[in-house]
Amino acid sequence: MFHRLKHFPGPKLAALTKLWHVWKCRDSRGHLVLQAWHEKHGEFVRTGPAEITIFHPKAYEAMDGPDNGNTRSDWYDLLYPRISSIFTRDRQLHHERRKMWEQALSRKALLQYHGRVVEKVRTLESLVASGKSRPVLINELMYFFAFDSMGDFAFSEDFGMMSSKRWHSSIAMLRSALTLLGPFSPAIWIPRLGFAFIPSLWKVRHWFHMLEFCDQCMARRMKKTPPDRDIASWFIEDHVKRGSDPTRAQWLSGDTATLVVAGSDTTAPSLTLFFYFLARYPMHAEKIYEEIQGVDRNSPAALAMLPHLTGTINEAMRLLPAVLTFSSRVTPPQGLMIDGTFIPGNIRICAPRYTIGRREKPLISSSFRKTKISIQLRRHMSTPMSSFPSGGTANRS
């Protein structure tokens, strides 16, 4: 009755326990659950006893902008006792470890990995071409490509999935383990309990197999010296520098697991969906084909300057981002103001990209009058976007 969040609308059972949210997400379609709650309750919705989900673009700046006072939520304890720049709640440690990641993913470093990816693209191209005029089911093919590419530029290792056209057994286990996050991300303490007390249960054992696989990838990499740089080389250098640090093994293991998952399991669905949109809207495939004529396709810088290609990628990621719902933060003790709405301190906040990217309400000045802007004009704007349906129209596409 006297709860600080009592004035925020939302499902009544969600305000009592996060188990209600987990139950609603049992089919791993939590993004649609949140979309429905947004449509019913508005932009600031109480989705837990001490949680507010924000369906407003300004949430991103408030949560992760410069000098924000938020802390990461318990969701980032997922890999504990392993730790990484991503999976740590300590702000200082995050900044220290981030330097290593920035070096490994700098423009200069990415150019060093580029040749590896190009070779994998050529293999992918030959697999698609082998279908001749028959339709090619790319769902699995994009996963094979993503994991083979990640294995090469991350560990100088070939998982051989494209060549064998079969799932690597450990990678199949990895994908199974990650399905835990679909229903349980709203209450991450549930899988954490499973990890601690029933490690042999169901897909929990797949989780530990996944982590073991990641550690094995790094162990194999540490036994060899490839002629060219890969991402693991930066991790290994950092590991060696921290020779007396008792936590260096946990850091190496955590960063490796982060690299494997982020470098593959988010890439594959994004590529699949990108080609799905091109198949559904072939006029964009035709425009991109015309745009790349006469361009050095081996030059990332040249490809990045193509407005329609870039705009199409941006729109695909807006409509179906790689991470549909979480991450989450905890507000500072003094609370947080977002678009005129005050959220008390020590409250968990989330901003689901799937719903925010499809908002019908534009984020524009009240003095701006709606006007019809043609696709031709939009093509010449400084931030090009393709003409896929937007807002409410996109939600029905």
Of the candidates 180, 255, 160, the residue with the CA atom closest to the CA atom of residue 211: 255
Distance CA 147, CA 160 (A): 9
CB atoms within 10 A of CB 202: 11
pLDDT band of residue 244 (cuts 50, 70, 90) is confident
Distance CA 84, CA 71 (A): 16
pLDDT band of residue 171 (cuts 50, 70, 90) is very high
Q: Which 8-state DSSP code applies to residue 156? A: S
Structure token pair of residue 53: 């989900």
> Residue 379: is its pLDDT beyond 80?
no
> Residue 257: is its pLDDT beyond 50?
yes
Mean pLDDT over 275-296 rounds to 95
Mean pLDDT over 218-229 rounds to 95
Show me where the domains of the chain are located. Answer: 79-266
Torsion of CA 304, 307, 309, 311, to 10 degrees: 110
Q: Which 8-state DSSP code applies to residue 22? A: H
pLDDT band of residue 360 (cuts 50, 70, 90) is confident
Rg of the chain on CA atoms, in Å: 22
Q: Are 370 and 299 in contact (CB under 8 A)?
A: no
**In the prediction, which pLDDT does 96 show?**
83
Q: What angle do CA 274, 123, 318 make, to 5 degrees?
A: 15
- Note the pTM of the prediction, 2 decimals: 0.86
Q: What is the pLDDT of residues 13-32, one digit of tens each?
A: 999 999 999 999 999 999 99
Of 75-79, 89-93, 125-129, 345-349, the range with the highest mean pLDDT is 345-349
Q: What is the 3-state secondary structure (H, E, C) of 195-214?
A: HHHCCCCCCHHHHHHHHHHH
Distance CA 203, CA 194 (A): 10
**In the prediction, which pLDDT does 374 show?**
41
φ and ψ of 292, to 5 deg:
-85, -5
φ and ψ of 13, to 5 deg:
-70, -30
Mean pLDDT over 178-198 rounds to 95
Mean pLDDT over 244-264 rounds to 92
Distance CA 315, CA 335 (A): 33
What percent of the chain has a predicted confidence (pLDDT) above 70? 91
**In the prediction, which pLDDT does 211 show?**
96
* Domain 79-266 in CATH 3.30.360.10: no
Q: Are 155 and 220 in contact (CB under 8 A)?
A: yes
φ and ψ of 124, to 5 deg:
-60, -45
> Residue 225: is its pLDDT beyond 50?
yes
Of the candidates 289, 353, 363, the residue with the CA atom closest to the CA atom of residue 322: 353
